[in-house]
Amino acid sequence: MTPEQLVRIRLKVEKRIAEIDVFLAEDDPESKPVAPDVAIGRLSRLESMQSQQMSLAQRRRQREEKERLENALERINGGAYGNCAYCLSPISYERLEAMPDAVVCVSCAR
């Protein structure tokens, strides 16, 4: 991987981390518990609870993605970025461009 490609991926990772930080900083009314004293029908309460769980799951996925991206940024800074964790061969630039948090090459991922 060329130094220019590495810089492009670093910028992409940093930008995505910033986007996730903005998302996680927002107060999400969907994730608030549904108060039992709110007079809504049984189905509406179930829909609200389902919506709450979906919102919480989305936030959890965002936190997990942020952690993977931060790990990728550490590997970039440490000079270990772009090599497969299993076979130690270089991961293709195209794969890293699509998935900057990838730790294995396509062959090992199969």
Average pLDDT per block of 10 residues along the chain, 110 residues long: 93 97 81 56 73 90 97 93 94 95 92
Q: What does the pLDDT read at residue 44?
A: 74
3-class secondary-structure state, position 105: coil
The domain ranges of the chain are: 3-81
Q: What does the pLDDT read at residue 12?
A: 96
**Minimal CA–CA distance to 23: which of 64, 74, 75, 68?**
64
Query: Which one-letter amino acid corresponds to residue 33?
Result: P
Contact 11, 106 (CB under 8 A): no
Long-range contacts of 46-54 (CB under 8 A, 24+ apart): 54/30
Q: Which two tokens stand for residue 49?
A: 């609870």
Contact 100, 72 (CB under 8 A): yes
Other beta carbons less than 10 A from residue 104's beta carbon: 16
